[in-house]
Amino acid sequence: QAQLVESGGGLVQAGGSLRLSCAASGRTLGSVAVGWFRQAPGKEREFVGAINWSAHKTYYADFVKGRFAVSRDNAKNTVYLQMNSLKPEDTAVYYCAAARSGETTAIVQALPANLNWGLGTRVTVSS
C-alpha cells in the first residue's frame, strides 16, 4: 500500500487559510478514495471530508461545509485539503487516509483499521 505523508500544517490566525497536502509514494492513489480526518487535543478523531477516485464526488462533515475543500491531482499522486475561514476550534492534528476502493463511502463507512493512514500534520489556529 502507499505511504502517505501530510504536510502544510502550521500556525495561523483565526480567519486565515491553509492548504494541506497528502502525498503518496510507493503506490498510486489514483484508483482509491481519500479522506481527511482530524483529532483535537483531548478529543476523538473525526471525519472532515473525502474525495472519490476521479475527483467528481466529495463529501464533507457539516462543520466544515463551505469552509474546507478536498481536491486531488492524480498525476502528482497528491490529495489536498484547502481550509479557509479557520477558527480556533479547527486546531487539531490532521490526517489523510486512503480507502481500498474508489468511492467516498469507502472512507465514510470504513473501519479505521481498514484505511491506510498518514502520520498527520498539526494545525494550530490562534484567536
Among 96, 81, 110, 108, CA closest to 18? 81
pLDDT category of residue 54 using cuts at 50, 70 and 90 = very high
79-119 per-position pLDDT tens digit: 999 999 999 999 999 999 999 999 999 999 999 999 999 99
Q: What DSSP character marks residue 123? A: E
Interior CA angle at 95 toward 90 and 96, to 5°? 125
What number of residues does the chain have? 127
Query: Cell numbers 464526488 correspond to what residue?
Result: 57
Instruction: Please give the helix or strand (H or E) that residue 107 lies within, else none.
Output: helix 105-108
Q: Model confidence at 123, in pLDDT bands (50, 70, 90)?
A: very high
* Helix (H), strand (E) at residue 5: strand 3-7
Phi-psi region of 120 (alpha: psi -120 to 50; beta: other; left: phi over 0): left
pLDDT tens, residue by residue, 21-39: 999 998 888 999 999 999 9
At residue 1, the pLDDT reads 80
| pLDDT value for 97 | 97
Does residue 65 surpass a pLDDT of 90?
no
